[in-house]
Chains A and B, each alone.
Chain A
Amino acid sequence: MKILKFNAIWCPGCLVMRPRWNKVINELPEIEITEYDYDSNREEVELWNIGNKLPVAIIVDDKGSELTRIIGEKSVDDLFEIINELMVK
């Protein structure tokens, strides 16, 4: 499982979500994270069809297929719940 995170420097939601994701990453170090910048990584933004609300985190399987995407602000508990559910499957 891998997480693709889309952030922007001007995005207040990204400020909210960064420490929450850090908590998740600290507890689940086996998950690989790749970060993309909304303004400079336009190819990936278009490829993954990122809409007009940030931040976006796309959880993909080992083959790179999208399992789910998390848009906007979510609590740490919600993040763990989503990830744990996908890990069980």
Chain B
Amino acid sequence: MNEGDKMIYLDYSATTPVNKKVLETYVKTCEDFVGNPNSIHRLGVESNHLIEKATEQIANIMKVKPSEIIYTSGSTESNNLIIKGIANKYKSRGNHIITTGLEHSSVYGPLNYLQQSGIEVDFVSVDENGLVDLNHLKSLMRDTTILVSIASVNSEIGLLQPINEIGLLLKEYPKCFFHVDATQSVGKVAIDLTNVDLATFSPHKFFGLKGISVLIKKEKIELEPLIHGGKSTTIYRSGTPALPLIVSCAKALRLAVEDLDDKYEYVLKLNKHLVNSLKEENDVVINSNSKCIPHIINISVPGIKPDTFVYALEQFNIFISTQSACSSGDSLSQAVNTLTKDEEIASSSLRICLSQMTTKEEVDEFIKCFKICKTRLQLKNNK
């Protein structure tokens, strides 16, 4: 039974509700463009022109070339294609990949897979704030290092890594490519891909639709495809181009970058209000720090199981998450553990996500209900 009336959604980093304008674009494209973009007849040509237009828009916003854009089904596929694609294509060059302890499971998954066939993986340390230690990164670089994979924003804590600095450092190693999982940053903060070789993002994180991701692969880099079956829009990813998803992705991206600074400032204000209120609670540990984007606030309430807390808030029609939606439900937060090195904190972490859609009233209601839930659960624990 719900204790609250209105739903308060605070899980925007897991996914976002679709913007109605984006949905309209999707429906209109489905209705008006029936041709397969790879067909040679007029309907196909019209569909293909629309893909080219949408791709050009995405490329302009991301400041890359249209030919550098590859569409996949989601960031998980994009990350897999990049990591496995580089490892397989450049195996004669080397077998060493570097990453961090703050990545998404779609980075660890392919790395675990590849490690069983000879790929060597190193983890670069982070400093006390959770930022990549550049000196350590330099010390890990080998002649055989073919890839460094680092998320621009960590999905559980919101840490914003110095991507430009890392990219500049890696320019000294021309045999090594730099992959940035930008899934949690695009649409929230400006990202400069000048010094990045490969990047990934998905529009469902910024009020677009699920089922599509953009993979950016700079020219002259090659990838061994995961899917073999024809050229499509690119030799690197076969399959009939998902025209309505591609067009709606361009629309979502255009809307997301509009007034980006204003939206950021608005979320920052909400973040400060929420964090200041949570700081008044002595038994709440705030894991996100000043190096994090304001959209993600990771906290821990030691002694209370995070899933119990999520279900308690759900009774008030409030929705937050325990950790990245793609992690195992049972595990402790790897990211929080990497940052805090405290297993109790990492085992009791909650993620609250804000967006420009969040109101101050929603934050106030959340704070009120959070306190009620915390007291109830603590009383239950003490019985």
What chain B residues lie within 8 Å of A18 (beta carbons)?
112, 115-116
**CB–CB B331/A54 < 8 A:** yes
Contact A10:B328 (CB < 8 A) given known A18-B115, A52-B347 = yes
What chain B residues lie within 8 Å of A53 (beta carbons)?
331-332, 343
Q: How many residues on chain A are close to B (CB under 8 Å)?
A: 17
**CB–CB B330/A15 < 8 A:** no
**CB–CB B328/A15 < 8 A:** no
Q: How far is the CB of A47 from chain B (nearest CB, A)?
A: 15
**CB–CB A15/B343 < 8 A:** no
Contact A19:B120 (CB < 8 A) given known A10-B327, A14-B112, A53-B343 = yes
What chain A residues lie within 8 Å of B103 (beta carbons)?
12
**CB–CB A11/B347 < 8 A:** no
A61 to B88, CA, bound (A): 40
In the complex, which residue of chain B has the Cβ closest to the Cβ of A50? Answer: B330
**CB–CB B108/A12 < 8 A:** yes
A7 to B113, CA, bound (A): 12
Fill in one digit per residue for A24-53: 1 if any B CB lies within 8 Å of its CB, else 0: 000000000000001100000000000011
Q: Does A16 sit within 8 A of B, measured CB to CB?
A: yes
What chain A residues lie within 8 Å of B109 (beta carbons)?
9-10
What chain A residues lie within 8 Å of B328 (beta carbons)?
8, 10, 38-39
**CB–CB A10/B330 < 8 A:** no
A25 to B240, CA, bound (A): 47
Q: How far is the CB of A24 from chain B (nearest CB, A)?
A: 16
Q: Does B294 sit within 8 A of A, measured CB to CB?
A: no
Q: How many residues on chain B are close to A (CB under 8 Å)?
A: 23
Best-buried of B103, B112, B115 by chain A (most CB within 10 Å) = B112
Q: Contact check: which of A8, A13, A15, A39 meets B115 at CB < 8 Å?
A: A15
In the complex, which residue of chain B has the Cβ closest to the Cβ of A38? Answer: B328
In the complex, which residue of chain B has the Cβ closest to the Cβ of A10? Answer: B105
Fill in one digit per residue for B101-127: 1 if any A CB lies within 8 Å of its CB, else 0: 101010011011101100011010000
**CB–CB A15/B112 < 8 A:** yes
Among A53-88, those with CB < 8 Å from B are 53-54
A10 to B156, CA, bound (A): 15
Q: Does B326 sit within 8 A of A, measured CB to CB?
A: yes
Q: Does B13 sit within 8 A of A, measured CB to CB?
A: no
What chain A residues lie within 8 Å of B332 (beta carbons)?
52-53
What chain B residues lie within 8 Å of A16 (beta carbons)?
123
In the complex, which residue of chain A has the Cβ closest to the Cβ of B101? Answer: A12
Q: How far is the CB of A50 from chain B (nearest CB, A)?
A: 9
Q: Does B334 sit within 8 A of A, measured CB to CB?
A: yes
In the complex, which residue of chain A has the Cβ closest to the Cβ of B329? Answer: A52
What chain A residues lie within 8 Å of B112 (beta carbons)?
7-11, 14-15, 18
A13 to B105, CA, bound (A): 12
A60 to B275, CA, bound (A): 48
A20 to B317, CA, bound (A): 46
A39 to B120, CA, bound (A): 24
* Further pairs besides A15-B108, A15-B121: 15, Cβ < 8 Å: A8-B331, A10-B105, A10-B109, A10-B326, A10-B328, A11-B334, A12-B103, A12-B334, A13-B334, A15-B111, A15-B112, A15-B123, A19-B115, A38-B328, A39-B328
Return 7 A-B CB contacts under 8 Å, by A number: A8-B328, A9-B109, A11-B334, A12-B101, A15-B111, A18-B116, A54-B331
Q: Which 9 A-B pairs have the closest CB atoms?
A: A10-B105, A9-B109, A9-B112, A15-B121, A52-B332, A52-B331, A10-B108, A52-B330, A12-B108
